[in-house]
Amino acid sequence: MTGTLALVGGGEWSEGCTFDADLLAASGADEVAVLPTGFAFENPDRHVERARTWFDGFGAGVRDVHVIQRGDANDAENADAIRKARFIYLGGDSPMHVRSVLKDTAVWDALVAAWNDGATVAGSGGAACALLDPMFDPRGGAFTVGLGLLTNVAVLPDAEDDVAEHHRRTFELAEHGLVLATIQRCTALIRSAGGWSTSGVGRVRVFAGRDERDLDALPT
């Protein structure tokens, strides 16, 4: 069984994201490896410090695995840090950058290997989108190729209550067989050995086309 996967709707490392304590405990880690790739254009150091302050409150440290460009993603030291990590957290609002930096690199291969070996992986906002295939493209609401940690499922982060109307084109483009999960901020959709669950202050909704479904519709 792979490790736990947490898809967070945004607002990571802030009040309301109490599920991080459970993810940390389940991982057995005392350090979180943070990949700030999706924050490349938004002062990534500042966001890593937010993560460090947040996880310090749970008694855990943070390791900044500073993968910002493709060269960083093929760095042997970065790949080794990710392969050895038991809790890996990707943040940031730029799914296209996350995909272009990580796809077919040593760091991505290390993340997949760690996850297959039981490590917990979390992605928030755009980074959560990029982890899956297909990937929601915020530039126009269509779908494109993602990193593929899971397939035939996509997520819409930072989802409004009227998400189906606000993202009408996205719902129209959802192909048969694709499950679309909408996730509000400070809320996580979590896949673990026990199946799918949700946690946090907001709401997760699951759709097949425009039909709302239970969590059981998500791929195992």
Domain ranges of the chain: 5-217
Exposure of 66 by Cβ count < 10 A (0-12 exposed, 13-18 middle, 19+ buried)? middle
Region 81-102 average pLDDT = 97
Q: pLDDT value at position 210?
A: 74
pLDDT number for residue 25:
97
Instruction: Give the C-alpha distances (Å, rounded to integers) separating 192 from 69, 121, 145, 203.
Output: 30, 11, 24, 19
Q: Using 50, 70 and 90 to split pLDDT, how confident is the model at 124? A: very high
Tell which residue, 140, 151, 182, has the closest CA to residue 7. Answer: 182
φ, ψ for residue 35, nearest 5 deg: -105, 105
Lowest mean pLDDT among 42-56, 57-71, 169-183: 169-183
What is the per-residue pLDDT for 43? Answer: 95
Q: Is the pLDDT of residue 31 over 90?
A: yes
What does the pLDDT read at residue 168?
65
Q: What is the pLDDT of residue 137?
A: 84
**What confidence score (pLDDT) does residue 15 get?**
95
Is residue 162 within 8 Å of 217, Cβ to Cβ? no
Of the two residues 140 and 78, the one the predictor is more confident about is 78
**Under CATH, which number does the domain 5-217 receive?**
3.40.50.880
Say whether pLDDT at 143 is over 90: no
Of the pLDDT bands very low, low, confident and very high (cuts 50, 70, 90), residue 166 is: low
Span 97-104, average pLDDT: 98
Task: Give pLDDT, residue 167.
Answer: 62
End-to-end CA distance of the chain: 11
Alpha-helical runs (H) found in the chain = 19-27, 44-56, 70-73, 76-84, 95-102, 106-116, 126-131, 163-166, 168-173
pLDDT in the model for residue 212 = 86
Secondary structure (DSSP) of 172-214: HHPPTT-EEEEE-TTEEEEEETTEEEEEESS-EEEEETTEEE-
| Confidence check: pLDDT of 123 > 70 | yes
pLDDT recorded at residue 163? 64
Interstrand relation of 87-92 and 120-124 (parallel, antiparallel or unpaired): parallel
150 Cβ contact list (under 8 Å, min separation 6): 5, 131, 132, 133, 191, 219
Mean pLDDT of the chain: 93
d(CA 195, CA 217): 11
Average pLDDT value for residue range 170-178: 71
Residue 152 has pLDDT above 70, yes or no: yes
Give the tens place of pLDDT for each residue, 103-118.
999 999 999 999 999 9
